[in-house]
Copies of this chain bind each other. A is one copy, B any other.
Amino acid sequence: MKSTLPPPVVSRKAIIFKEAARLFREKGYSGSTLRELAGKAGVKGGSVYHHFSSKQEILFTIMEHTMSTLIMRVQEAIATETKPIDKLRKAIQFHIAYHTADSDETFVTDAELRSLDADNLTAIVGMRDHYERIFRQIMEEGVARGEMQIGNVRLASKALLQMCTGISSWYRPEGEKSISDIADYYIELFFRGISRTSAAEAGGRAVEL
C-alpha cells in the first residue's frame, strides 16, 4: 500500500494566485502587502518568491490569465451561432457569466491597469483591445445585415461592456436573482431599451424579473 499522500489537488501556486485576486480586489494592488497575501495562502512572506518572482508578476499573471481566457472562451461561445444578434446574445451571456463566476480576477483585471509596469501594461491593453474588437465586429456585422441599428459602434460597445462588467462590482452569489436571469435582463435592456413604445412592439420574449 502506498503510504504517501497524492499531490494536492490545488497547488500552492494556485492558492496564492486565488488569494491574491481576492486580496487585490479588496484592498487594491498597492494596498495589499506580500505578508498578508502569504498569510492568507498559508505561508510565510518570503516563500511566495519560490512561486512568483515579484509582486508585480502575480498581478500580471492574474490579468493575463483572465484576458486570454476571456478571449478564447467568448470566441467559443459565439462560434455556434450565425446571426449577429444571436452571437451578441451569446457573447453577453458569457461575459456576464465569467465576470460573476471569477469576479475577483475580472475585477482586478479591470481596475488595476494603472498598477502594471510599462511592458505588462502594453501586453494587457493589447489583449483588452482584442476582446473589445470581438464585440465591435459582431455589432458591425449586425448593422451591415440590417439586424441592428447602431449609430456609433465604438460608443455602443463601450456602453455595453461597461454596464455588464459593472455587475461584478455588486453581484453576490447569495442574492435572489440567478446570473442567467440578470444576463437575460441586461440583454433585453440593451436590445430594446426602456421606452414603452419600442419595447411593446419588439419581437423577442419579454423578461420580467
The chain B residue sitting closest to A208, CB to CB, is B151
Complex copy number for this chain: 2
* 0 or 1 for each of A31-62: is its CB under 8 Å from B? (1 = yes): 10000000000000000000000000000000
Q: By the criterion CB–CB under 8 Å, are B150 and A26 in contact?
A: no
A197 and B85 alpha carbons, distance in the complex (Å): 13
25 A–B contacts from the bound complex (CB under 8 Å): A27-B30, A28-B29, A28-B30, A28-B114, A29-B31, A148-B194, A148-B195, A150-B194, A151-B185, A151-B188, A151-B206, A152-B208, A155-B177, A155-B189, A156-B189, A156-B194, A159-B166, A160-B163, A162-B165, A162-B166, A166-B166, A189-B193, A190-B193, A193-B202, A197-B202
Q: By the criterion CB–CB under 8 Å, are B28 and A149 in contact?
A: no
Q: By the criterion CB–CB under 8 Å, are A158 and B185 in contact?
A: no
**What residues on B are CB-neighbors of A191 within 8 Å?**
193-195, 198
Selected from B30, B185, B206, the residue in CB contact (under 8 A) with A30 is B30
**What residues on B are CB-neighbors of A195 within 8 Å?**
148-149, 191-192, 198, 202
A155-209 with Cβ < 8 A to chain B: 155-156, 158-160, 162-163, 165-167, 169-170, 177, 182, 185-186, 188-203, 206-209
CB of A147 within 8 Å of the partner chain: yes
Q: By the criterion CB–CB under 8 Å, are A155 and B209 in contact?
A: yes
CB of A111 within 8 Å of the partner chain: yes
**What residues on B are CB-neighbors of A163 within 8 Å?**
159-160, 162-163, 166
CB of A69 within 8 Å of the partner chain: no
The chain B residue sitting closest to A209, CB to CB, is B152
Q: By the criterion CB–CB under 8 Å, are B114 and A27 in contact?
A: yes
